[in-house]
Each structure stands twice: as C-alpha cells, then as structure tokens.
Structure 1
Amino acid sequence: MRNMSDDHTHVQEFFTARAAGWDSRFPDDGPAYAAAVAESGLRAGDRVLDAGCGTGRALPPLRAAVGPSGTVLGLDLTPAMLQAAVRAGRQRDGLLLLADVAALPLRGESLDAVFAAGLIAHLPEPARNLRELARVVRPGGTLALFHPVGRAALAARQGRRITSDDLRAEGNLGPLLARSGWHLTSYVDEDARFLALAVREA
C-alpha cells in the first residue's frame, strides 16, 4: 500500500524547489490558460476551484470568467507555491487555500466547476482523488483538465517517451473519469495544449 505522506512529501519537495522561478520558466503560458478557461463553459456568478493552483496563473482568467459575483478558490498543497501566488498579486483574484485535493475542505456539491492545470500527473490515487473533486461539484458541473503543452511536447521537454499507461491518454482518461463520477465530453491533445473537459454525473 502506498504511503500517502510520502507522496505528499515528494510533491511538496518537487514544487517547493521550483516555486520561486516557476512563472519565469514558463512566461508565455498566459494565453493558453485564458483560452482553456474560455472553453470550460464558466458563467458569471459561478463558483470555481483551481485545484493544484500552483502560483495561481489561472486565477485571473477564472475571475474574469465568473465576474465579481462569482467565487474563485485556489488550492494547493505546497506553501511555497501559494507564497509565489501572493507575490504575483493573484490573491486579488481568488481565495488561496493550503489543502490537499485528497481531502477538500469544502461542502458537497458546493461548486459549479473545477479547473486543474497539470494536476493529474501528481495525483497519488487518481480515481479516488477525482472522486473527491466530483464530491464538491454539483451534478452537471464541469471539470477542466489542462496543460499548456500536449502530451508529446511535454514528454519531449522531459526527455522521455509517452507510454501506454499514461493517465492522460484518451483511452485511459475516459474510463478513469467514468469510474470517478465524471463523463468526458471533449478531448484535445495537440502540441500547443492539452484540454479534457468532463461533466459531473448525477
């Protein structure tokens, strides 16, 4: 059985070491985030969670999408990433929470949507963690799984090959989401971005 605290420590160490320079490493990702948010179907007044928000790059477009009457939450496991979000002024666009997606400090069905950039590769128990995201979203609400580059481009950047067990492959992701309370409705995997959209099932 996997030790959850070891998973958490590994993720925190990985992102703590990279937090200060994260935004400067990927300075051109802003338009891709904005485009993904625009396609996620958010409306004025919606309540949305940025799960694994990191330095909060999605928070400004999420705030623009839901407007002043909406609610934007940014949640991350790594204090250094949230500190970087504050330094960038992104706490003005959403409430920042230090918490784990495995145990969200939110009521059931309290959200309209979840946006998650680069999250799925870091989930220690993907099916269980996606079920926890489903718990806090109302039936008919949405999930956007995003990355500013596609699977092949990301693998090349990391000096590796895509393997058949890649969770983000459409043939793996669809069934995984279905087991977790979601229905995959849209899937795009191209060099410039990865975006999978799903709806919370009743």
Structure 2
Amino acid sequence: MSDDPTQVQEFFAARAAGWDSRFPDDGPAYAAAVAALGLRPGSRVLDAGCGTGRALPPLRAAVGPTGAVLGADLTAAMLAAAVRAGRDLAGQLLRTDVTRLPVRTGALDAVFGAGLISHLPRPADDLCELARVVRPGGLLALFHPLGREALAARRGRRLTPDDLRAESNLRPLLAASGWRLTSYVDKDARFLALAVREA
C-alpha cells in the first residue's frame, strides 16, 4: 500500500467500520506485544496510528489508573470505530498525524505502533519524531499480529529486499533515528521489534 498520507487515510476510512470484524482474533497478540514492552504503572504511552484502538485496553491495564494512554490516528473513521467499541475509555484519542505530534519533547515513556512502519511517508524522519516525544531510555514497539512472510502471503505478494521491517534494514533505520534495536521477532504469528530511545 502507498505511504501517501491521503491514500492511507482513504484506505482506512473505507474499511474502518468492519476493521475489527475482519481481525477478530488479534486481541491476545496485541496483549502479548504490550506485555513485552514491560510498562510500569504510571507510565505515559502513545499508541501511534492506533486505528480502532485495539492496543488501548492492554496499554491502560499496563500503566494503571495513574498512567497516561494516548491513541493517535489520522483517520477520523478509525477513531470513531474506537469510540463505538468503547476503547476511548482506555485512553485519550487524538486525530493527528503521527509524523507531527502535538506532544512535548520527552513527555512519553513509550510508543506502541501496530502496522505503523509501512505507512510512514518518510520513515527515518518519522521515527525521529517518535524519538522526540520519548524520554531517553524510553521504549518503542513496532508490532504486527502477522510476521513478514505471513503478511506478504496474505496480500498475495513476495518479500523484497527493501522491506523496511527486515532486521537488516530496520536496525540501521532505527539507529539513524535515535533508537537502538534491542529485540527482534519475526514469526508467522507475530512481528515485534523493540527499541530503546538513545540518550
């Protein structure tokens, strides 16, 4: 899919109403990915490109009532679906572009991004923006409930060497953007790359 913001917005707006019903079994995968972040009670976390907010309840459970959970997405229809599902109760929803966040520098402890990296128009710059809003030592999780091979197969495609999520591409991309890759899992049932914000 294109990484043009308008096309991405149109793609998700057309699919928002039925998004959760297309992927009804992803809940445990989201919960496991959030658990892997190791968030503490009171942490401040952003779900970047939150869509229908499937990560918001496990993020809220991880940070507890004293923590802060933000869900940011560019597509109003996806945020409306999150509200219909009651997920706005788990976090504050923001309609905004995650490449230009209205968040103070260093204000967050972590960023969670499900399916995000393939939709960033300028991945190096956009990962720098995510680094900007996270304190040194803070965390980034890039997640998808399917691994690279399984996702490509579902879309009727083959993996290519320029796939941003390949470890050989992702590690230097993150390093150039203020992150250090600390864990990389690419299995059929899960893609999860964890990184720490460098000082």
TM over 0.5: yes
**1:7 aligns to what?**
4
String of CA shifts for 1:126-175, please: whole Å, max 9, x gaps: 00000000000000000000000100000000000000000000000000
**2:171 aligns to what?**
174
Q: Distance in 1 between matches of 2:101 and 2:23?
A: 28
Segments of structure 1 that go 5 or more residues without pairing to the other structure are: 1-5
**1:138 aligns to what?**
135
Q: Distance in 2 between matches of 1:29 and 1:172?
A: 26
State the TM-score, normalized to the length of structure 1: 0.97
Paired positions, count: 197
Say whether residues 1:162 and 2:162 are aligned partners: no
The secondary structure found in structure 2 opposite 1:57 is coil
**2:191 aligns to what?**
194
Q: Displacement, 1:102?
A: 1.1
String of CA shifts for 1:22-62, please: whole Å, max 9, x gaps: 00000000000000000111110000000000000000000
Q: Displacement, 1:8?
A: 1.6
**1:152 aligns to what?**
149
Q: Distance in 2 between matches of 1:125 and 1:88?
A: 31
Q: Distance in 1 between matches of 2:15 and 2:25?
A: 17
Q: Distance in 1 between matches of 2:27 and 2:99?
A: 27
State the TM-score, normalized to the length of structure 2: 0.98
Alignment of 1:1-202 (within 5 A): 7-202=4-199
Q: Distance in 1 between matches of 2:153 and 2:5?
A: 26
Aligned-residue RMSD, C-alpha: 0.7
Please list every run of at least 4 consecutive aligned residues from structure 1 whose deviation after the TM superposition is greater than 6 angstroms.
none
**1:3 aligns to what?**
none
